Amino acid sequence: MSVGFVKRPLWSTADAQAATGGVALGPAWLATGIAIDTRTLERGDLFVALRGDRDGHAFVSAAFERGAAAALIDDPKLTAETAGGPLLRVADSLKGLAAMGVAARARSSAKAVAITGSVGKTSTKDALRHVLSRQGSTHAAAASFNNHIGVPVTLARLPVDARFGVFEVGTNHPGEIEPLARMVRADVAVITTVQPVHIEYFGTIDAIVREKGQIFAGAAGGTAILERDSPHFDALAEIARGHGIARIISFGEDAASDVRLAACGTDANGSDVAALVLGSELRYRVGAPGLHWARNSLAVLATVEALGANVEAAAAALASVSPPAGRGARRRVALGGGDIELIDESYNASPVSVRAMLSNLAMTNPAPGGRRVLVLGDMRELGAEADAMHVGLAPDIESSGVATVFTCGPHMEKLRAALPPALRAVHTADSARLAQRVIEGLRPGDVVAVKGSLGSKMKVVVDAILAMGAVTSGSGKG
């Protein structure tokens, strides 16, 4: 007879009440997790009823039907009897969740890492979780939980006995990073890179630099990990020191980098890296292709060193890192007696990440009779220069070996006009209209890469391709 895994209690009535100052209604409870959506709620979770596009209070009864231990609410009309289970009533559910996050961080002895950056923060967070989990209990969100809700949720889920906690902190408007960084109270704060992403809401790259630099708030006495190649390195270092950062470790290709990329060879399935880590040479493989992954690995190793963990073991563990869905995951899909290779980059897009994807696509060889096919949706939040930034991708596309380019969205229409006629496939207003045209245009042996900002909904195209036939993970020969 097999014995199922039993989760350890994460929150008790008394602990949650002490953290939030709330009023407990109904019997005492123990929660093994935190949920903000009944669709992902697991038995034993504390359900937090948040107000937004949908009011979470309308789903409290459903949460109890799915096995919630209790619910955190701010509706004065709800009672334990009407809701169907024990409640913790607070003045504001979101503030109550944030208070639980702060309390969870305070009671934990975990060394915390806070990561931000214009691109690469989720991949770096996932890689850090991967390598650190082999050296001790490591907590990090499975998804990109990096906003005013996601960071408190991730903190509130932090186990008391975790050795490491890895937290992603994002922004698309000024003033968002500092309060989240102060909640995390990082021992190590990482900025992967600063690029003109979300510049529509910041106006200038200098404003983005100032905002990203607030990741050091709450990290006084800790370590900053910064990209040495960045033209903003000195400005970020100054902000870090202003927040009381005690040590700065730089990474990159610049000769002055503390963790320096000495060489990188890439193929369709991964990257072979030679690096100097504080003067010691390391050779390792990253299980994801591309120079950007090699650079991310430098930030990972710099962070591991700052945490006092084993750098050599972390480097070895990078071989089994793989890109997640929407961020470079590769799958084969059966088609017409053969198959196609799908590169799913549908989660987000910026000029720098599109160019990185094109570099990887250029290294991926189609099967006989196949082509490199590119499917692009708009890059969002680029401000007044959006059209120019889209058009600026044309030379990179032409040199990447792409045979045909499908596009959707008003900005990508400008890019399409800048491409040679031979490369232009179909253009539509949105991804829903484009999906069927892409399917009709694919043939066995093709390698198809799909990319666009989240708001462009390019996952619609990915899902349509995956629905064509049997799917297997991984990529073929490069």
Buried b (16+ CB within 10 A) or exposed e, 368-402: eebbbbbbbbbbbbbeeebbebbbebbebbeebbb
* 278/387 same-domain check: no
Q: What are phi and psi of 343, to 5 degrees?
A: -105, 110
User: Rounded CA gap, 428 and 413, in Å?
Assistant: 8
Cα separation values, 413 from 375, 381, 385, 406, Å: 12, 16, 15, 10
Note whether residue 422 is domain-resident.
yes
Of 94, 126, 155, the position where a domain reaches its end is 94
CATH of the domain at 167: 3.40.1190.10
SS3 409: coil
**SS3 of residue 411 by DSSP:** helix
Q: 281 pairs with which residues across the strands? A: 276
318 φ, ψ (degrees, to nearest 5):
-65, -20
Do 142 and 199 reside in the same domain of the chain? yes
101 part of a folded domain:
no
Distance of alpha carbon 48 from its chain centroid, rounded? 23
Query: Of 320, 348, 377, which one is at a domain's C-terminal end?
Result: 320
- Is residue 4 included in any domain, yes or no? no
Query: CATH no. for residue 36?
Result: 3.40.1390.10
Residues 186, 314, single domain; the answer is yes
Is 5 part of a structural domain of the chain?
Answer: no
What single-letter DSSP state applies at residue 324? P
- Measured in residues, the chain has a length of 478
**Residue where one domain finishes, among candidates 301, 320, 339:** 320
Which pTM value belongs to this model? 0.84
Kindly state whether residues 138 and 77 are assigned to the same domain: no
Q: Check whether residue 228 and residue 314 sit in a common domain.
A: yes
- Residue 100 in any domain: the answer is no
If asked whether residues 291 and 437 sit together in one domain, one would say no
Examine the domain organization and report whether 32 and 77 are in the same domain. yes
Whether 85 and 116 map to the same domain: the answer is no
On whether both 369 and 456 belong to a single domain, the answer is: yes
Q: Rounded to 5 degrees, what angle do the CA atoms 201, 205, 210 make?
A: 85
CA R_g for the chain: 23
Asked if the structure places residue 286 within a domain, the reply is yes
Task: Give counts: helices (H), strands (E), the chain.
Answer: 18, 23
> Both 182 and 292 in a single domain?
yes
Q: Are residues 194 and 297 in the same domain?
A: yes
Residue span of the structural domain in which 75 resides = 11-94
Q: How far is CA 152 from CA 23, 184, 316, 325, in A?
A: 20, 9, 32, 24
- On whether the CB atoms of residues 364 and 478 are closer than 8 A, the answer is yes
Per-residue confidence of the chain (478 residues) as pLDDT tens digits? Answer: 333 446 789 999 999 999 999 999 999 999 999 999 999 999 999 999 999 889 999 999 999 999 999 999 999 999 999 999 999 999 999 999 999 999 999 999 999 999 999 888 999 999 999 999 999 999 999 888 899 999 999 999 999 999 999 999 998 889 999 999 999 999 999 999 998 777 777 889 999 999 999 999 999 999 999 999 999 999 999 999 999 999 999 999 999 999 999 999 888 788 999 999 999 999 999 998 888 899 999 999 999 999 999 999 999 999 999 887 788 888 899 998 899 999 999 988 999 899 989 988 988 889 999 999 999 999 998 888 999 999 999 999 999 999 999 999 999 999 999 999 999 999 999 999 999 999 999 999 999 999 999 999 999 999 999 998 776 655 443 3
Residue 478 included in any domain = no
Indicate the number of domains in the chain: 3
**Is residue 391 in a domain?**
yes
Number of C-alpha atoms within 13 angstroms, CB side, residue 188? 26
**CATH number reported for the structural domain that contains residue 447 in this entry:** 3.90.190.20
Which contacts qualify for 324-327: CB closer than 8 Å, 24 or more apart? 324/122, 324/123, 324/126, 326/459, 326/462, 327/122, 327/123
SS (H, E, C) 108-140: CCCEEEEEECCCCHHHHHHHHHHHHCCCCCEEE
Residues 157 and 57 in one domain: no
In the chain, what is the straight-line distance between the N-terminal and C-terminal CA atoms, in Å?
46
Q: Where are the beta strands (DSSP E) in 3-117?
A: 11-12, 23-25, 30-31, 33-35, 45-48, 70-73, 87-89, 111-116
